[in-house]
Chains A and B, each alone.
Chain A
Amino acid sequence: MSELFPRKQVMGFVFSLVLTAIALSVYFLDMSFTTGMIILLVTAFIQAGLQLVVFMHAGESKDKGVIYTNVYYALIIALVTIFGTLLILLWDM
């Protein structure tokens, strides 16, 4: 019976609720803009990863490798684009 219990999904669900609560706290607690944005960004990325792995079942099929390669590739390109843009338009302008 214990094998049938979706332990991973329940834990994931609880964890995603916790992440939502942390993100929500930015609105209710008094903090600086920078701190708030950092909390929002970090929780957003963890939340997206959690949804992808636990509830969209990435990594449970044969083409695990292809899916994760794609995700990492997308992450690298997104980070390069964002930090490149920041470098060009703000830090080194």
Chain B
Amino acid sequence: MEFFERFAVPHPSPAIYASMVAIGLTVIAIIAGLTYFKKWGYLWREWLTTVDHKRIAIMYLISALLMLFRGGADAILMRAQLAVPDNKMLDAQHYNEIFTTHGVVMIMFMAMPFVFAFMNYLIPLQIGARDVAFPRLNAISFWLFFAGAMLFNISFVVGGSPDAGWTSYFPLAGNDFSTSVGTNYYMIALQISGLGTLMTGINMITTIFKMRAPGMTLMKMPMFTWSSLIANVIIVFAFPVLTVALAMGTMDRLFGTNFFTTSNGGMDMLWANLFWVWGHPEVYILILPAFGLYSEIIATFSGRNLYGYKSMVASMVLISLLSFLVWTHHFFTMGQGALTNSIFSITTMAIAVPTGVKIFNWLFTLWKGKIRFTVPMLYSLGFIPLFTVGGVTGVMLAMSAADYQYHNTMFLVAHFHNTIIPGVVFAMLAGFTYYWPKMFGFMLNEKIGKWTFWMLTVGFVLAFFPMYISGLDGQARRMYTYSEAAGFSMLNMLSFVGAAVMAFGFVLIVYNIYYSVRYSPRNIGANPWNARSLEWATHTPVPEYNFAITPNVASSEALRDVKNGHDLFPGKYEKIHMPNNSGLPFIMGVIFFVWGFSFVFAMWIPLIIATIGIFACMGYRSAEKDHGRYISVKEIEDTETKLRGA
């Protein structure tokens, strides 16, 4: 029995036992459902083994939505705990675990896969390619992300969740203060999904540089592809830092090294430093693709070209460089001198300039445009003022002298939610609504969508604006309760109400999907929004080869050119070379999960076996002869006729 005691949750509560039962029942229901409807073969052939960028994108999307609800449940629990003073609903330990997992899940397992979903789906379509440069690697990226996400998510029922904050600062995250396996989960799960992210970065950069359709020069790429290119460049330069930091942290916790300890020459502050060397560029990895989506949506629904294409690109290039020069602003109060803080204050304020350029470009795109207030456009229009408030409070925080007042308070929490929710989450929901017809062949209901938008916006303002005030009044972040005398009660109750309204908004999204699956008309054509760029030029649903004839592109608004008489698809059908499906990425994901789980619990024999398994998979791939397959002209003709008729 002693062996199994390590898997017990160190701080059990009825809620955790209820979750265990719920997880068990869900797994049984899924297995029973798949067996009953005889869908195992379908699942394996069409999804688990797929290398198609569009299907991988949809799997990223589903994972992101699932994780949104997991992280959202954490958020509601936190707000409920803080809604009234001296609340006994959660104890301190449970609260620590919840704010830690909320942060990690939302950033790493919700926002990142959401961004990757759009990158995967849109980049090949926007540049007129058949797939990404390395389709097999793309599948491995997804399954590594998924293995990491699942490993992180089982932590709260097996062995205990991490509880040292999403930043996991040492020495708190070291063995002395975090005795459960929770922080091991953090280190290993992020390591596995981080590997997947790095591979995606390399894959997307190669795709964009090497696989653009004829005529599409770099300065004729749609804006989302540009923003993704920059984001992926940042990924490739920033993620290795996280990889190294996590490896050092893992060694400190499991092998007794002294990188981040407070004794034996260790330097605990080095973790904070390395974490934010990665962490700040990470912010831009999330926000740049979001900016790209807004650029596409605002141009479409204003009926105009995007204003200032070149300045958009230039500002993003500048942001990519500046994002590596500001990391110290996350720990102004750590004890470094005034000179350092001044340097990083100035670089931080400088980054507001290119961001401001982009805001003005969107405003000028709207200027004199014929604006259509659709759901994606509402999110974009809501984003501009709300994100600007977040940006302005960011400049406030950037003043290092003033930061001594703001740091570690709810003011900071309000600020970064104010940038991430209108910036990233609204963009993802806007993109989700905008590209839904391209992905699934029908529109989401506009009326329910508008209700969702207003619920989320009103809920967001109610939930986070009070935090600015309570933060300036001195409410510290990550405190699990406060006394009535502190005077935060009213503001926190308001936040809870806002969070509840947002929760209703997210439930409405699910209802909208259900409603639209049942009632939405299916005959919407290839370009239901009257959009302007290349991804809308192919059929809906998109055939697996994307474009029957490789497009010949004349500008960043390829579809607009067609209306002006440009011949986008010159030539005739030729046979198309496509990659074969493979089960190897999924199997590697499973082995990595076992590897990570063994590592978390320091079970060395399964760890060694899993390591051998990983290398065996790579060896198999090296020796494998897989030259892909061809889609014949006959098949293309049949598909095209069918899709055109529909």
Enumerate chain A interface residues (CB-CB to B < 8 A).
63, 66, 73-74, 76-77, 80-81, 84-85, 87-89, 92-93
Contact = CB atoms under 8 A, between A and B. Distances in A.
A74 B240 CA distance: 12
Nearest to B277: A81
A88 B328 contact: yes
A73 B273 contact: no
Contact of A89 (B209, B325, B336, B339): B336
B269 interface: yes
A81 to B, nearest CB: 5
Contacts of B325: 80, 84
A87 B241 CA distance: 18
A63 B209 contact: yes
Contact of B237 (A73, A87, A88, A92): A73
Interface string B440-458: 0000000000000000000
A89 B337 contact: no
A88 B209 contact: no
Nearest to A81: B277
Interface string B334-348: 111101100100000
Given A77-B324, A81-B277, A87 B209 contact: no
Contacts of B269: 89
A92 B340 contact: yes
A81 B276 CA distance: 11
A81 B277 CA distance: 7
Interface string B281-302: 0000000000000000000000
B324 A81 contact: yes
Interface in B215-238: 233, 237
A80 B328 CA distance: 12
A88 B339 CA distance: 9
Contacts of A93: 335-337
B324 A80 contact: yes
Interface centre among A84, A85, A88, A89 (most CB of B within 10 A): A88
Given A63-B209, A66-B209, A81-B277, A89 B237 contact: no
A88 B200 CA distance: 32
Contacts of A76: 321
Per DSSP, chain B at the interface is: helix
Contacts, number: 42
Interface of B: 209, 233, 237, 241, 267, 269-270, 273-274, 277, 321, 324-325, 327-328, 334-337, 339-340, 343
B209 A77 contact: no
Contacts of A74: 237
A92 B273 contact: no
A81 B327 CA distance: 9
A84 B335 contact: no
20 contacts: A66-B209, A73-B233, A77-B237, A77-B324, A81-B277, A84-B327, A84-B328, A85-B270, A85-B273, A88-B273, A88-B336, A89-B267, A89-B270, A89-B273, A92-B336, A92-B339, A92-B340, A93-B335, A93-B336, A93-B337
A38 B49 CA distance: 51
A84 B327 CA distance: 9
Interface centre among B324, B335, B339 (most CB of A within 10 A): B324
A81 B241 contact: yes
B284 to A, nearest CB: 13
Nearest to B326: A84
A76 B233 CA distance: 14
Contacts of A89: 267, 269-270, 273, 336
A73 B209 CA distance: 16
A29 to B, nearest CB: 27
A8 to B, nearest CB: 26
Contacts of A73: 233, 237, 321
Contacts of B334: 88
Nearest to A63: B209
Contact of A88 (B233, B321, B324, B340): B340
B343 to A, nearest CB: 8
A84 B340 CA distance: 9
Contacts of B270: 85, 89
Contacts of A87: 336, 340, 343
A81 B328 CA distance: 11
Given A87-B336, A89-B267, A93-B336, 18 more contacts: A66-B209, A73-B237, A73-B321, A74-B237, A76-B321, A80-B324, A81-B324, A84-B328, A85-B270, A87-B340, A87-B343, A88-B336, A88-B340, A89-B270, A92-B337, A92-B339, A92-B340, A93-B337
A66 B229 CA distance: 13
B575 to A, nearest CB: 27
Contacts of B339: 92
Contacts of B340: 87-88, 92
Nearest to A85: B273
B526 to A, nearest CB: 33
B338 to A, nearest CB: 8
